[in-house]
Amino acid sequence: MTTRRTLGLVSGLALTTLSAAPAAGQAIAYGEAPAPRRAAAVPGAYHLRLESAWPQFGAAAKECRNGGDEIVEGMLTRSVDGTYRGSLDRRTLIFFCGAHGVDGEACELVLEGDGKVAMTGVVVPDETSPSGNALRVSWRPSPTHGATVRGACPADFKRSIEEMYLSVRHGAEFAVPAAGAGKRVERLENYAWTVEIE
């Protein structure tokens, strides 16, 4: 497990809002990004797979459940300006059970999402990385990304959860493998993700 600094920024993941369990590392935003590293020092593309490492509460079918899983996967390709870009697949299943709103009424819902996210990234120096570099990425759902929210919660609450899921920007930073080292797998400490990159 590698400690990464939190980057002081923006957003919130649906799970963060849905459950009382902390997935605070999901919610980041970026200030001004550093200049991309020199093109010759980094590969032209990375295959990336991010899998959520969210807290899970409740397991039995009849029991109140909070948690779920999300996977973001695809290729990031370096542009001429040194920035990495890609359209990655995103699949999500989120369970929520609990109180919401001012009156604190309890309800349950399930969100299922499937679609594309637009991801950008820059390579930044990182002394703790085997390659000396880390990749700082951020992503936002594409306009065609879909989601379905079902359950006994009020319609306005379900609608707000769906809108948040389809609009929030997310981000993370992680080490990249050294040249010729193959796939690198890392459980990020300050972000609720496990990352595979090669």
* pTM for the structure as a whole: 0.77
- Quick check: 145 and 115 in contact, CB under 8 A? yes
pLDDT digits (tens, 9 = 90+) for 6-32: 333 233 333 433 443 433 334 444 445
Task: Write out residues in the chain with pLDDT < 70, as ranges.
Answer: 1-41, 59-63, 101-103
pLDDT digits (tens, 9 = 90+) for 160-185: 999 999 999 999 999 998 877 789 99
At residue 4, what are phi and psi to the nearest 5 degrees? -125, 145
